[in-house]
């Protein structure tokens, strides 16, 4: 089970397409479908925001998506007169159902152009909406990559051994101290300067390990 309180707005949002292209001379492009996926093991609440909401009609700006399901959001451009080119932005917010904390967000660029370019026609023909199982595979791959990154960020064995040696050095008796009864051999007694060096090294290594 995924702990949603660990994401704080960084949960991956799977949506297709990542850009909406509206063409004034092509009326069939005035209506676009945005598919939002939920490959997670819990129900999510989505909200669709826009920086220019009076120019578009979004059929469903808020709703629930059950686990392992997807939803199609219909977006229509309603103000395209006397426009040569305009760029707007839609933002998808995801929440766990019943909780107020934002889990993830993703921006979708909406481009309104005067005419359709040939290369854009070809790319639209080749575009294919991924199936839910393909999105689930991407999600599993993302989780594996995250685990690898976390594992690589752990300190190496050599660093841990160096920290342990420095701590042991600081715990050894100090040479020149009087009235100390210890079972430690005299040759393991360290001078004040040696302990200062050990403490300095320990501080540097600790700062390097704890640095985000």
- pLDDT 10s digits, 81-105: 878 889 999 999 999 888 888 999 9
* pLDDT value for 187: 73
* pLDDT value for 192: 82
Whose tokens are 């704890």? That residue is 210
Quote the tokens at residue 65: 């998506």
Which residues of the chain carry a pLDDT beneath 50? 1, 118-119, 122-123, 125-126, 147-152
Long-range contacts of 98-106 (CB under 8 A, 24+ apart): 99/4, 101/4, 101/5, 101/8, 102/8, 102/9, 103/4, 103/7, 103/9, 103/11, 103/44, 104/7, 104/9, 104/10, 104/11, 104/12, 104/13, 105/9, 105/13, 106/13, 106/15
* pLDDT value for 5: 56
CATH H-level, domain 4-132: superfamily: Immunoglobulins (2.60.40.10)
* pLDDT value for 143: 57
Could you report the per-residue pLDDT of 61-80, keeping only the tens digit for each?
A: 999 999 889 999 999 999 88
Quote the tokens at residue 42: 């819990």
* pLDDT value for 79: 86
**Positive or negative: CA dihedral 47, 50, 53, 59:** negative
Query: Helix %, strand %, coil % for the chain, to 5?
Result: 35, 30, 35
**Positive or negative: CA dihedral 174, 178, 180, 186:** positive
Q: CA 163 to CA 98: how far, in whole Å?
A: 45
* pLDDT value for 211: 63
Nearest to 34 by CA among 51, 14, 52: 14
Q: Where in the chain is the domain with CATH 2.60.40.10?
A: 4-132
* pLDDT value for 119: 43
């Amino acid at each position: 089970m995924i702990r949603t309180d660990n994401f704080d707005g960084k949960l991956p949002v799977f949506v297709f397409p990542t850009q909406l292209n509206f063409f004034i001379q092509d009326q069939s492009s005035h209506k676009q479908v945005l598919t939002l996926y939920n490959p997670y093991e819990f129900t999510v609440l989505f909200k669709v925001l826009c920086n220019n909401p009076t120019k578009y009609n979004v059929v469903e700006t808020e709703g629930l998506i059950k686990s392992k399901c997807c939803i199609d959001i219909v977006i229509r451009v309603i103000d395209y007169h006397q426009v040569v080119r305009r760029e707007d932005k839609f933002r998808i917010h995801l929440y766990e159902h019943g909780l107020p904390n934002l889990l993830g967000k993703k921006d979708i660029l909406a481009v309104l152009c005067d005419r359709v370019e040939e290369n854009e026609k070809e790319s639209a023909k080749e575009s294919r909406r991924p199936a839910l199982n393909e999105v689930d595979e991407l999600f599993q791959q993302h989780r594996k990559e995250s685990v690898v990154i976390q594992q690589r960020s752990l300190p190496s064995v050599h660093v841990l051994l160096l920290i342990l040696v420095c701590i042991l050095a600081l715990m050894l008796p100090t040479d020149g101290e009087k009235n100390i009864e210890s079972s430690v051999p005299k040759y393991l007694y360290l001078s004040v300067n040696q302990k200062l060096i050990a403490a300095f090294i320990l501080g540097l290594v600790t700062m390097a390990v704890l640095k985000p």
